[in-house]
Amino acid sequence: MSLSVSIKKYFKDFTLQVAFEQNGNMLGVLGASGGGKSMTLKCIAGIEKPDEGRIVLNGHVLFDSEAKINRKPQERKVGYLFQNYALFPNMTVEENIAASLSYLKRGKQQKIEEMIRRFQLQGLEKRFPMQLSGGQQQRTALARILAYEPEVIMLDEPFSALDFYLREKLQTELKDLLKGYQGDVILVTHSRDEAYRLCDQLLVLDRGQTVARGDTKEMFRNPQLLSVAQLTGCKNFSRTKILDKNHIEAIDWGIVLQTAESIPSDSDYIGIRAHDFRPAQAEEKNAFPIAVVEKIESPFGWDIVFQTKEQGPKIWWQFSKESSMAKENLPQYLSIAPERILLLRSCGHSL
């Protein structure tokens, strides 16, 4: 199973340029809204036409601008799960599944029954999509796509329309439902949690450009790029000046920090994740005094907003309620472990 994509599409205010190869696992495409994620999927599905490039799926050329090949969506064998599932509202669950079976000459009924069983839709066969819950709709949409036996499945923000509780439940469910599927899966999302939980490989898009690609866990651990760090949920950034091999000045925060690894010469930003700060004493390594600006309570923790100099940028510190910290008794100093400092570049890519 292999998918190879290398396309360009020009828009008024930005150019979409995506290139990747995928071999039989779950690829996450992470990016901010309007960054070209859905457009990429639509180009692969044949709904939109790229201006240049080539798309090859399991040896079949789906699109090639030079050879003037542009296969119809009907001929691509690509499964596309839309954000709102795009179930046909005028058809029942079984009719929706049957709609994707035009490729079968016989045995349609059998296939429908098999899908109904596999996706636990028994008893809902005669219902219309409006009469289903969010989870049932998602299962129906997946059943419809898998009945079509596509060679790649693309999931376009499949959880964004759901409320929080259902979202977490369906994320696990989705992984189970796709377990038996042999082809490639691409998941588009703007949520770092979803990307981290579901995808082994990650592709990061920033304003239409592929800025990073690689192993998901590694990318969260060492984002390298400012844009990647932002998309993976890092909240605190400062411009920097390199002092020596292991010391860096965070210009915006007015503090000097020691790093674990030697600092690459093109590093011009650092990032610190909100939960990586620790309370400290004044003389400890990488400790700095803080002035608390705001305390925000969330269900399981506290968000403390502080500054390290007057009129400085707001910095976020997060700790869970179970930790021994109390909001009335906040420390006067915080520290950051040298290995937790993310050394970042504001431009370029990390391919």
Partner 1 sequence: MDYSPIWISLKTASLSILITFFLGIIAAQWVVNIKNGKVKTVLDSILTLPLVLPPTVAGFFLLYLFGVKRPIGQFFLEYFSVKIAFSWVATVLAAVVISFPLMYRSARGAFEQVDENLIYAARTLGMSEWNIFWRIIMPLALPGVASGGVLAFARGLGEFGATAMIAGNIAGKTRTLPLAIYSQVAAGNMEGAYHYVMIILLISFLVVVGMNYFTAKGRKFLSKETQK
Q: Enter the tokens of residue 264.
A: 């690459």
Backbone φ, ψ for residue 306 (5° rounding): -135, 170
What whole-number distance in Å separates Cα of residue 319 and Cα of residue 1?
43
Q: Toward partner 1, which CB reaches closer, 74 or 265?
A: 74
State which of residues 12, 68, 72, 105 lies at the interface with partner 1 (CB under 8 A): 72
Q: Toward partner 1, which CB reaches closer, 10 or 88?
A: 88
Specify the DSSP class assigned to residue 264.
P
Q: Is 90 in the site for partner 1 (CB under 8 A)?
A: yes
State which of residues 9, 144, 273, 278 lies at the interface with partner 1 (CB under 8 A): 144
Q: Enter the tokens of residue 296.
A: 């925000």
Q: Is 78 in the site for partner 1 (CB under 8 A)?
A: yes
Backbone φ, ψ for residue 328 (5° rounding): -75, -25
Q: Is 145 in the site for partner 1 (CB under 8 A)?
A: yes
Q: Enter the tokens of residue 112.
A: 């429908």
Q: Is 74 in the site for partner 1 (CB under 8 A)?
A: yes
Binding track, positions 32-71, relative to partner 1; x by CB under 8 A: ----------x--xxx------------------------
Q: Is 108 in the site for partner 1 (CB under 8 A)?
A: no
Q: How far is CA 326 from the centre of its chain?
A: 33
Q: Toward partner 1, which CB reaches closer, 92 or 216?
A: 92
Specify the DSSP class assigned to residue 234.
-
Coil/strand/helix, residue 275:
helix
Check: CB of residue 54 under 8 Å from CB of residue 40. Answer: no
Q: Is 122 in the site for partner 1 (CB under 8 A)?
A: no
Alpha helices in the chain (DSSP H): 37-45, 93-98, 108-118, 134-147, 164-177, 192-198, 216-221, 226-231
Q: Enter the tokens of residue 334.
A: 């915080």
Q: Toward partner 1, which CB reaches closer, 60 or 241?
A: 60
Q: Enter the tokens of residue 280.
A: 């400290």
Number of residues that bind partner 1 (CB under 8 A): 32
Contact region with partner 1 (CB under 8 A), list: 75-83, 164-172, 235-243, 307-315: 75-83
What is the closest distance, in whole angstroms, from the C-beta atom of residue 15 to partner 1 in the complex?
21
Give 249's strand partners. 241, 256
Contact region with partner 1 (CB under 8 A), list: 140-148, 205-213, 310-318, 340-348: 140-148
Q: Binding residues for partner 1, per CB under 8 A? A: 42, 45-47, 72-74, 76, 78-80, 82-84, 86, 88-92, 99-100, 102-103, 126-128, 130-131, 144-145, 148
